[in-house]
Amino acid sequence: MKSQYLLPTYARLPITLTRGKGMYVWDSEGNKYLDFFSGLAVDNLGHCPLVVTKALQDQTKKLLHVSNVFGIAEQGELAEKLVKLSGLHQVFFCNSGAEAVEACLKFARYHSLKVRESHCFEILVAENSFHGRTYGALSATMQKKYQAGFGPLLPGFKSVPFGDLEAMVKGVTDQTCAILVEPIQGEGGVRIPSSGYLPGLRRLCDEKKILLILDEVQTGMGRTGSLFAHQRYGIKPDLMALSKALGSGFPIGACLASQAVSESVEPGIHASTFGGNPLACRAALATLGIISKKTFIDRVATAGSFFLEGLKKIQKKHSLIGEARGMGFMLACELKEPVGNEIVGRCLERGLLINAIQGKVLRFVPPLIIKKREIIKGLDILAGVLEERDKERR
Ligand SMILES: Cc1ncc(COP(=O)(O)O)c(C=O)c1O
């Protein structure tokens, strides 16, 4: 790859991927890899799913792009589908996760300006969160390593420990307009709060008349064993950010809003040139056609448990692994030493793609179509790598 022409924002692995099909990708030298990375929780239907590539091919013959100044039939259809599946009221389309979060932040502040006597702009967020790299999303991202060097950030964000309901209760002031959290922290290390956390936040927001914003960019689209992670807790947010797997690799983001928030939105307050263009919407419609099926989602939950059991067995044998955790196919192993990148490299050499977070956590986010035999194959590779490492240290 001609990397000398690219700004060095990424610490890239030493392979160039050129082709993918289902659970596998191939590099420029023809080597094949089992993919437990999924383009970072994007390729939920595997690589190049036929329904999506066919929909895209069909749409390229009709219309690639028109402005949101005009009606876009595919966008209306996709919005209807998302509204029916989420129980929310209306949708704004954009192109990425950070943009979906930006839209949520803007609509939340604008809503508060419209419905409250004084302008409340403060948004409570969680420590260790990740919401994206644009200035608004970055200001809500409470990890020093992402924020360092970019100040001053947007004012009005206050953080409290993730999963701590009491801290959130104490954090709310008469300046607060919303709470923004991920149902499970992804980039923060696959951290799962207790089952009472999201319902507790919902109650708190209702009581204080503030908005609950859920960032489901990573947890959404079936990843955790329900279409949206919050659905398993029987609650609904006021605003929700989606992206990643929504377009199966075609860039698209969405901000879904409740009826109350929708009512405060007017023409001109937010926009995106490409947001919800016909191609992106066809990709998302085709994706949802499969992912929203109950049989598909239910299998994620059961097959995900099988994967987690496998990780726990590995954990028992290898002292390097402190904890194995996760939900559906959002899984992780906490390492007792910061050797995540080394493990990733060794797995890569043996034909398995995994990801390490902050060097300390191995993350497994395979395509949701993964079969038992592929779970076993990947876990065998991981166990082999750990055994090899143990032997070298004896
Ligand atoms: C929870 C969450 N929100 C937002 C984002 C930002 O998405 P994007 O990289 O598409 O801007 C990410 C990306 O990893 C994410 O995991």
User: How many Cβ atoms are within 10 Å of 179's Cβ, its own excluded?
Assistant: 26
Q: Are 125 and 180 in contact (CB under 8 A)?
A: yes
Q: Please tell me the distance between residue 130's alpha carbon and the centre of ligand 1 in angstroms.
A: 7
- The residue behind tokens 């099926």 is 293
Q: Are 242 and 35 in contact (CB under 8 A)?
A: no
pLDDT of residue 265: 97
Q: In what order do the strands lie in the sheet with 176-181?
A: 90-94, 253-257, 239-242, 211-215, 176-181, 122-126, 157-160
- CA dist 174 and 116 (Å) reads 10
DSSP E strand stretches across the chain: 17-21, 24-27, 32-35, 90-94, 122-126, 157-160, 176-181, 211-215, 239-242, 253-257, 321-327, 330-335, 352-353, 355-357, 361-364
Instruction: Pull the structure tokens for residue 43.
Output: 């390729």
**pLDDT at position 121:** 96
Is residue 34 within 8 Å of 24, Cβ to Cβ?
yes
* Domain 50-291 bears CATH identifier 3.40.640.10: yes
Count of H helices and E strands in the chain? 13, 15
Please identify every residue annotated as catalytic: 130, 215, 244
Q: Which of 99, 125, 130, 214 to mutate to test the pocket of ligand 1 (most atoms within 8 A of CB)?
A: 130
Nearest partner of 311 among 362, 252, 373, 251, judged by Cα: 362
- Using 70 as the pLDDT threshold, list the residues of the chain that sit under it: none
Strands 253-257 and 239-242: antiparallel
Residue 263: count of CB within 10 angstroms of its CB: 14
pLDDT at position 167: 98
Q: How far apart are CA 245 and CA 254, in angstroms?
A: 11
**Ligand 1 midpoint to CA 277 (Å):** 20
Quote the CATH superfamily of domain 3-49+294-393.
Aspartate Aminotransferase, domain 1 (3.90.1150.10)
pLDDT of residue 154: 97
Residues 6+ apart with CB under 8 A from 247: 52, 280, 283, 284, 287
Q: Which of 351, 312, 319, 346 lies closest to 335 in space, CA to CA?
A: 319
Ligand 1 center–CA 181 separation, angstroms: 12
In this structure, which residue's CA is closest to atom 10 in ligand 1? Answer: 97
Host H or E run for residue 56: helix 50-60
Which pLDDT belongs to residue 117?
79
Contact 382, 353 (CB under 8 A): no
Q: Which atom of ligand 1 is nearest to the CA of 219?
A: 1
Q: How far does residue 97's CA lie from ligand 1's centre (Å)?
A: 5
**pLDDT tens digits, residue range 232-254?**
999 999 999 999 999 999 999 99
Closest protein CA for atom 8 of ligand 1: 97
Atom of ligand 1 nearest to the CA of 216: 1
Closest ligand 1 atom, residue 182 Cα: 1
DSSP string over 84-134: HHH---EEEEESSHHHHHHHHHHHHHHHHHHHSSS---EEEEEBT----SS
Q: Where are the domains of the chain?
A: 3-49+294-393, 50-291
Q: Print burial letters for 335-351: b (CB count within 10 Å at least 16), e (below 16).
A: beeebbeebbebbbeee
Say how far apart CA 289 and CA 282 lie, in whole Å: 11
Cα angle: 151, vertex 178, 256; to 5 degrees: 100
User: How far lies 179's CA from each of 30, 139, 172, 183, 240, in Å?
Assistant: 47, 14, 9, 12, 12
Residue 383 pLDDT: 97
Ligand 1 site residues, Cβ closer than 6 angstroms: 96-98, 101, 130-132, 182, 186-187, 215, 217-218, 243
pLDDT, position 47: 98
Ligand 1 test: best mutation among 9, 131, 361, most atoms within 8 Å of CB?
131
Report the amino acid identity of residue 311: L
- Which H, E and C letters describe 23-35, residue by residue? CEEEECCCCEEEE
